[in-house]
Each structure stands twice: as structure tokens, then as C-alpha cells.
A and B are shown apart, each in its own frame.
Chain A
Amino acid sequence: MPRRRAIKLSQSNRERKEEKGILSDLANYSQSGMTFALSVVIGFGMGWYLDNKVFGGRTAPWLSFLFLGFGIAAGFKHLWDLSRRIAKDDD
């Protein structure tokens, strides 16, 4: 009887873990696509603002391009952080 109970307990534990996995996967992945796209847009927006408002168009396209690169890098960094967090959760 105790053994059967232990098996049942471990089963319910595993089920709970799976449940937690589904919900947190949902949160992580539904957010990641949007965050990636927004990183690129926000990076470009910062560069554009610096170019046209702060420096008055003197540096015209260059800061936009530079910060666009930063935005893309930030997007990939987000993916990198996400994959590392998931790898850490798995073990």
C-alpha cells in the first residue's frame, strides 16, 4: 500500500511539472517573437531619434544603422538568454 501511494505521488509530481512546463513555455514563447521584433524596431527608433532630433540630421543615416545593428543584437541576446534559461530549467 505505501509503495502504491509513493508511485501515485511521483506520478502526480510529474504531472504537475509538465503542467508548469506548458504554462511557462506558453509565456516564454508567446513573448519571445514579439520581443525580438520590438528590439529591432526600438533600436532603430533610438538611432533615428539621435540622428534627427539630438544631432539635427548632421550624422544622418549612420547612427540609425548603428543602432539598428544594436537592436538586432539585442534581439538575439534575448533569444540567447531565453534558451539558456530553458536549458537551466530542464535539468
Chain B
Amino acid sequence: MEHPILFISVILNWIGLPVPHGPIGGTLLEKLTEPYLTYSWLIMAFLFVVPKLTLGKLELVPGTGQNFWEALIGGLMDFFIEHMGREKARMLFPVLATFFIYIVLANMIGLLPGFMSPTSSLNITVAMTLIVWLLHHILGFRYHGWKYYKHFTGPIAVMAPFMIILELIGNFARLVSLSMRLFGNILAKEILLGVLFMLVGAIFAPLPILCLGVLVSLIQAVVFVLLSVIYCVGAMEHAH
């Protein structure tokens, strides 16, 4: 399969920076110019610059730009309040909303030709999953102190060593499945689009897949954030 053209890599090559040909570069500089990293930075820059441009000064009567962001942030806040209550939603809002907006954008950018989804690299999804995984255990310890171990031992004392092994396996499964689902769905979308464009791009065959891609991007972002919410709520509530 011919390698897809990625604009940032082409520009970096033109400037004279080395761009790795395989998935992982050899030197440090090559590692820094891997496509999934450069596109991740592009999205971060986009998220820094575009709200600044569209928001301008905050006004009491919102204009079009401010209206959009207010609807997005307000909608997300309502969504979190429904699932975890007002107080916890306010506490966790910055992390979860950042994840949601970043993942939506990272999934969607792959639909444009010449761009790739950073989330189609396992490195990015594992990093995000590790943050969520550490976060929900830290929240558990913060809410319950050392008694948080009761979440892992189950109700019966005799069964405790057995239950700890089960919980250990379950926690690893959580970590792997959360990252693999996002990664797998987005990579599948990317590969399918790439192949269809190459084979039958001239007769608009990828169009239905593009529509499905929009749907998958949104659903995967919602599912990722919702599962993070479920894990955090589970860690914060009392052991049964």
C-alpha cells in the first residue's frame, strides 16, 4: 500500500527535519517528528488558538462564537452532572471535558485528506487511558483513605486473597480494553478510508464510510469519557 501523504510530514521534510519512515523513529529528533505527535500538537495548537480567536472578549450577550462554546461547555457540564452529581462534576470537569474535546477533534481530523488521527496510534490512547486509570485510583484513595483497599477485597474476609487477584486482572483488562477500543475503531476507520480512496476514490465510494467515520468519531469520544466517568464514580462511592 502506498504511504498516504501527510502535510505536516511533507512540510517538515521540506524544512529539512528528519521524518521517520516506519512507525517509530530511531533518534530523538525522529521520535519527536512522528506523524501522530505532530498532528497531536496541531490539534493542541488549534484548541489554543481557535477559542481565543472566536471568543474574543466575553460578553453578557453572546455573539456567534461565544454562543457555540457556551453551548458546548454547558452541554458537557449538564451531561456530567446527570451522571455524577453537581459537586463531583465540577471537580472533574476540566479533565473530562478536555479529553472529550481533544478526542472528538483527534478522531475527526483523520477524515480530511492529508491529515491523520493521532488516536489511531496506540501510544496516544494508552497515555490517555493511563491518566484516567491513575486518576480514578487516586480519587479512590483521596475519598476513602487507606480503607480504599476494601474495594479490592470484597465483602468476605476468607475470599480476600482470591478477590485481590480477580480485581488485579480486572484492572488490567480495564486498562487494555479502554485504550484498545478507541485505538482499534479509529485505526479501522483510517485504514478503510485509505484503501477506499486508493481503489475507488474516483467514483466517491468512500462517502458512506466518511459519514460512518463522523459517527464513530463522536461515539468513541462519548464512550471513552463516559467510561472514565463510570470508573471515577465507582472509585468514589462506598465499597459494598
Check A31 against B178 for contact (C-beta < 8 Å): yes
On chain B, the residues within 8 Å of A74 by CB distance are 165-167, 169-170, 173
As a 0/1 sequence over residues 126 to 165 of chain B, the CB contacts with chain A under 8 angstroms (1 = contact) are 0000000000000000000000000000000000001001
Among the listed B83, B162, B174, B178, which residue makes an inter-chain contact with A24, where contact means beta carbons less than 8 Å apart?
B83
Check B170 against A27 for contact (C-beta < 8 Å): no
On chain A, the residues within 8 Å of B170 by CB distance are 35, 39, 74, 77-78
Q: Judge whether B101 is part of the interface by a CB distance below 8 angstroms.
A: no
Number of A residues with CB within 8 Å of any CB on chain B: 25
Distance A81 CA – B46 CA, assembled complex (angstroms): 40
Check A27 against B223 for contact (C-beta < 8 Å): yes
Grouping DSSP codes into helix (H, G, I), strand (E, B) and loop, the B interface class, with mixed when no group exceeds half, is helix
Q: Judge whether A10 is part of the interface by a CB distance below 8 angstroms.
A: no
Distance A77 CA – B174 CA, assembled complex (angstroms): 13
Check A35 against B223 for contact (C-beta < 8 Å): no
Distance A75 CA – B166 CA, assembled complex (angstroms): 8
Distance A28 CA – B174 CA, assembled complex (angstroms): 12
Check A20 against B82 for contact (C-beta < 8 Å): yes
Distance A89 CA – B180 CA, assembled complex (angstroms): 27
Check A34 against B177 for contact (C-beta < 8 Å): yes
Number of B residues with CB within 8 Å of any CB on chain A: 23
Grouping DSSP codes into helix (H, G, I), strand (E, B) and loop, the A interface class, with mixed when no group exceeds half, is helix
Among the listed A24, A34, A71, A77, which residue makes an inter-chain contact with B181, where contact means beta carbons less than 8 Å apart?
A34
Check A42 against B181 for contact (C-beta < 8 Å): no
Show the binding face of A for B, using Cβ within 8 Å.
Answer: 16, 20, 23-24, 26-28, 30-31, 34-35, 38-39, 42-43, 46, 67, 70-71, 73-75, 77-78, 85
Among the listed B83, B167, B172, B227, which residue makes an inter-chain contact with A20, where contact means beta carbons less than 8 Å apart?
B83
On chain A, the residues within 8 Å of B176 by CB distance are 38, 42
On chain A, the residues within 8 Å of B173 by CB distance are 35, 38-39, 42, 74-75, 78
A to B CB contacts below 8 Å, 17 in the list:
A23-B222, A24-B226, A27-B226, A27-B227, A31-B177, A31-B178, A35-B170, A42-B169, A70-B162, A70-B169, A71-B169, A74-B165, A74-B167, A75-B173, A77-B170, A78-B173, A85-B234
On chain B, the residues within 8 Å of A39 by CB distance are 169-170, 173
Nearest-CB distance from A22 to chain B (Å)?
A: 11
Q: Judge whether B230 is part of the interface by a CB distance below 8 angstroms.
A: yes
Nearest-CB distance from A83 to chain B (Å)?
A: 14
Known: A20-B83, A71-B169, A74-B173. 12 other contacts (CB 8 A): A24-B226, A27-B223, A27-B227, A31-B178, A38-B172, A38-B180, A70-B162, A74-B170, A75-B173, A78-B170, A85-B230, A85-B234
Distance A85 CA – B231 CA, assembled complex (angstroms): 12
Question: 3 nearest interchain CB pairs?
Answer: A74-B169, A27-B226, A38-B173
Distance A75 CA – B82 CA, assembled complex (angstroms): 29
Given contacts A39-B170, A46-B169, A70-B165, contact A26 B177 (CB under 8 A): no
Nearest-CB distance from B132 to chain A (Å)?
A: 13
